[in-house]
Structure 1
Amino acid sequence: MREIVLDTETTGFKPEEGHRLVEIGCIELVNHLATGERFHVYLNPERDMPPEAFAVHGLSTEFLADKPLFNDVAADFVAFIGDSPLVIHNAAFDMHFLNWELKIAGYPVMPKDRAIDTLLMARQKFPGSPATLDALCKRFGVDNSNRTLHGALLDAQLLAEVYLELLGGRQTGLSFAGGPASKGGSAGPVRIDRPFREARVFAVSEEEAAAHAEMLKKMKNPLWAVE
């Protein structure tokens, strides 16, 4: 099962107000585990960087000036994510920006139900508890010491670990992990050595038989009576 853990950074909160994507980070998962394949790009938003946004991710107008436009990387991005489910923290925010950019670039927008929102997962699993990425990293013991600023690729990597924990950890099913196999790739027949014991005889004694007969005489139409 292939999934894509995804995060973005932007110049602000709403694309309708002229804000744009400035970074996309994607991590490929197969059966909930990272494969090492990733997609990462910085983007030129063709506008200035508001101080509030710069304080969050540290991406300046000068740094982004020579980076590609979204139109330049849209085909590679679409090819990388394919039709796989997208694992996103606060998915509504990222999906809104991505669909805005995809529409401008002439690509079909993505349905909202394609995204798996880990923010909603965390709130359902731990109602009333903080559900930020930092809070979840702390809860699950995921090392986020390098996260001094937000970054799409780093956050996607952290989210991949958090997502696995939200699902129940590295062994999410009820089956137990298999033991060591033989050289042929499968465990052979198990042999258990037990000491030999003679079969025990449970014969009825004459006294027991007589007592049983006396008891039957006291019963009306006993089922155990022998003709």
Structure 2
Amino acid sequence: MREIVFDTETTGLDPQTGDRITELGCVEVEDFIPTGRTWHAYVNPQRSIPEKVTEITGLTAEFLADKPLFADVADGFLEFVGDARVVAHNAPFDRGFINMELTRIGKPIIENDRWVDTVVIARKKFPGAHASLDALCKRFGISLETRDKHGAIIDALLLADVYLELNGGRERALDLSDDRGEAGGSVTFPKRPARPEPLVTRLTMEEREAHEAFVATLGESPIWKSGGLI
């Protein structure tokens, strides 16, 4: 199952009062595991950025002045997302901003039923506990060394790791359940080619004779006599 873990940075909290997107970050995951494919863009919001926001994100209007407008990166973003589900931390916030920007340029929005909110998942899994991205990273032992500021691609990469842990962690690779979550799956081991030359035995004649004498005491049909074991 292909999903896109998604994060935005913005000029403020409310797209309905003129706040705009300043950064977009996307991380592709397949069956909850990051594939290594990412998509990232800085966006010129065409407006000022409050000092408090700059303290959080490190982004200034001067830095973003020569960056593309949202209209210029929208097609690349939509192509990367495709028809995948979109995973976000506090999804209504990111959904509100991205759909506002898409509507502004006449592009179709990402419908509500395609969004997955990791805050909701975390609160169900750990009721009463803090559900911020920082708190979940600490809970799962995910390093925050790269996160001196809030950044869309950095946060999306961290969230991809958190999303995997919220869904069982890397041990899911050994999950024997089927698509309905019921036991009964199987593990497939890769076939190894035969050795070009058999290994030379290191068994001495004395050891072989002692082993055969021991097996003779085990009855008429011991398993050791099957399969050429002796």
- Look up the equivalent residue of 1:41 and give its one-letter code: A
1:197 maps onto 2:197 in alignment: no
What is the aligned counterpart of 2:192 among 183, 193, 198?
183
Q: What is the distance in 1 between the residues matched to 2:193 and 2:81? A: 37
Structure 1: 5+ residue runs without aligned partners? 186-194, 200-227
TM-score scaled to structure 1, two decimals? 0.79
In structure 2, relative to structure 1, the CA distance for the partners of 1:106 and 1:131 (3 Å cut) is: same
- CA, structure 1 residues 158+177, in 2 after alignment: closer, same or farther (shift >3 Å)? farther
CA spacing shift, 1:184–1:117, aligned 2, 3 Å: farther
**Structural mapping, 1:41-190, within 5 Å:** 41-172=41-172, 174-175=175-176, 178=187, 181-183=190-192
**Distance apart, 1:101 and its partner CA:** 0.2
Q: Letter of the aligned partner of 1:197 in structure 2?
A: G
Instruction: Say if 1:77 and 1:181 are closer, same or farther in 2 by CA, change over 3 A.
Output: closer
**Paired letter, 2:128:** G
Letter in 1 for 2:131: A
Q: Tell me by how many angstroms 1:105 deviates.
A: 1.1
Alignment match, 2:208 = none
In structure 1, what residue type is equivalent to 2:36?
A: G
Q: Deviations over 1:101-157 (max 9, x none)?
A: 000111111111211100110000000001100000000000112211100000000
Q: State how far apart, in whole Å, the 2-side matches of 1:181 and 1:71 are.
A: 47
| Bigger Rg, which one | 1
Q: Which moved more, 1:26-35 or 1:131-140?
A: 26-35
Which residue is equivalent to 2:209?
A: none
* CA distance in structure 2 between the partners assigned to 1:124 and 1:114 by the alignment: 19
- Name the stretch that deviates more: 102-111 or 170-179: 170-179
Gaps spanning 5+ residues in structure 2: where? Answer: 177-184, 195-214, 222-230
Greater Cα shift, 49-58 or 87-96 = 49-58
Shift of 1:181: 4.0
Per-residue CA deviations over 1:68-100 (Å, capped at 9, x if unaligned) read: 000011111111100100110000000000000
User: Partner letter of residue 33 of structure 1?
Assistant: I
Q: In the alignment, what sits opposite 1:17?
A: 17
Note closer, same or farther for the CA distance 1:85–1:179 as it changes in structure 2 (3 Å cut): closer
Query: Quick one: distance in 1 between partners of 2:60 and 2:45?
Result: 11
| Per-residue deviation, 1:171 | 2.4
Residue 30 of structure 1 and its aligned partner are, at CA, apart by 1.4
Alpha-carbon distance between aligned partners in 2 of 1:179 and 1:3, rounded to the nearest angstrom: 25
- DSSP 3-state at the match of 2:171: coil
CA shift digits 1:40-77 (9 cap, x unpaired): 00000000001121111010010000000000111111
Whole-angstrom distance in 1 between the partners of 2:34 and 2:91: 20
**In 1, distance between residues paired with 2:166 and 2:128?**
16
Q: How many residues align?
A: 191
